[in-house]
Amino acid sequence: MQLKKLTFIDMGREGAIYKIRDGLVMKITSRVPLFYYKALNKNIDGCVRIYAIGTINPPKKFLSDLKISKMISGSEDRLYYVIMEELYTSEYFNNEVTKIFKTVTYPSYLKYMRNDIKEDVDISIYDGLVTAIDNVSTLIDYSNMDIHSANFMYDRDGNVRYTDLGSLLTKFMDFKPLIGKTYITD
């Protein structure tokens, strides 16, 4: 696949996310979380869909044009790309996830805590988190999951999905993809 245009979505310490087309994004990163490999081409309820993982050896101009962070472009000869489904978040969703996680000491116990939650929380988000954590834990151990509100998002249909963004910043939106600059890679 030759990419002519990438639309920048967001960037963090370990990489950047670009929109390829509606519903599909590419993460360019210096590392790939283990669970991405285990989720590759699998349809697991509650887990981001990963379609492809590979390596690229981009020229320095490519790195500067795409505004990849200094941590990546400074010393890496090789970067990784991950093609995955586009996920969304909102301030409401993030606040609900944060409230839910504040009620439990260990996220792996979340499924046993439904009746103990004292705060008023969105039960559909709670149930989505339980499903996501349980199903992703079949791929990787709970201790290897980076569980915090920024690593849970939702798909187009509102289903909660776990995605280890690897310290990417998360912007808020309401079922609209973030629109940024378009970069030409030629």
pLDDT tens-digit readout, 82-115:
999 999 989 999 999 988 888 776 666 777 777 7
Residue 183 clears pLDDT 50, i.e. is over it: no
pLDDT-based confidence at residue 21 (cuts at 50, 70, 90): confident
Cα distance between residue 104 and residue 102, in whole Å = 6
User: Considering the domain boundaries, does residue 128 fall inside one?
Assistant: yes
The boundaries of the domain holding residue 111 are 91-162
pTM reported for the whole predicted model: 0.74
User: Considering the domain boundaries, does residue 167 fall inside one?
Assistant: no
Question: Residue 157 contacts by C-beta under 8 Å, 6 or more apart in sequence?
Answer: none
User: pLDDT tens digits, residue range 135-179?
Assistant: 888 887 777 677 778 889 999 999 999 987 543 333 333 323 233
Residue 69 clears pLDDT 70, i.e. is over it: no
Give ∠ CA 137-126-39 in degrees, rounded to 5: 30
Provide the number of structural domains found in the chain. Answer: 2
The pLDDT of residue 110 is: 79
Residue 79 sits in the same domain as residue 95 = no
Residue 55 forms beta bridges with which residues?
Answer: 80
Residue 102 sits in the same domain as residue 148 = yes
Cα distance between residue 183 and residue 154, in whole Å = 26
Span between the terminal Cα atoms of the chain, in Å:
13
Residue 74 sits in the same domain as residue 136 = no
Residue 40 sits in the same domain as residue 75 = yes
Taking alpha carbons only, the member of 73, 137, 66, 138 closest to residue 107 is 137
Residue 60 sits in the same domain as residue 95 = no
